[in-house]
């Protein structure tokens, strides 16, 4: 079952600069081989439910196993029969915006 998640995995109580910890999390996500996109607040991961959730667990535990209190915020979109929704959703919105821009230019 194709699953697209948006997840933020971050240490709690480790100061103001978290990039070093986030890099550890992203390395685990990267090593999963699943498609992902990182941005400044969340990372999207797409693939089969079990693989995506295992990746979230592994990425969370890379911090927790160091004794770091770890916070996870997760949102999931499960769409049977769909694939590549991470890029298709963005492309769909951009297509509409481009069409509207073309209409406005007339």
Residue 106 binned pLDDT confidence (cut-offs 50, 70, 90): confident
Pair 7, 42: CB distance under 8 Å? yes
| pLDDT tens per residue across span 16-25 | 889 999 999 9
Pair 7, 77: CB distance under 8 Å? no
Residue 102 binned pLDDT confidence (cut-offs 50, 70, 90): confident
- Residue environment code for 41-58, b if the CB has 16+ CB neighbours within 10 A, otherwise e: ebbbbbbeeeebbebbee
pLDDT at 13 over 90: no
| pLDDT tens per residue across span 42-83 | 999 999 999 999 999 999 999 999 999 999 999 999 988 888
Cα 68 from Cα 73, distance rounded (Å): 16
Average pLDDT, the chain: 93
| pLDDT for res 100 | 87
Residue 10: its H or E element: strand 2-11
| pLDDT for res 10 | 93
Helices (H), 1-106: 19-32, 49-64, 85-105
Write out the residue range of the structural domain in which residue 93 sits. 2-105
CATH number of 13's domain = 3.30.70.930
Provide the domain count of the chain: 1
* Phi-psi domain of 72 (left: phi exceeds 0; alpha: psi -120 through 50; beta: other): beta
Instruction: Count CB-CB contacts under 10 A for residue 61.
Output: 13
Q: Which pTM was predicted?
A: 0.86
């Amino acid at each position: 079952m194709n699953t697209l998640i948006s997840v933020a995995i971050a240490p709690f109580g480790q100061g103001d600069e978290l990039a070093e910890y986030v890099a550890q999390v992203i390395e685990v996500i990267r090593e999963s081989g699943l498609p992902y996109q990182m941005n400044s607040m969340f990372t999207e991961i797409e693939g089969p439910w079990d693989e995506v959730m295992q990746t979230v667990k592994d990425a969370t535990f890379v911090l927790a196993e160091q004794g770091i209190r770890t916070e996870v915020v997760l949102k999931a979109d499960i769409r049977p029969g769909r694939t590549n929704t991470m890029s298709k959703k963005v492309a769909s919105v951009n297509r509409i915006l481009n069409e509207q821009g073309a209409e406005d230019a007339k």
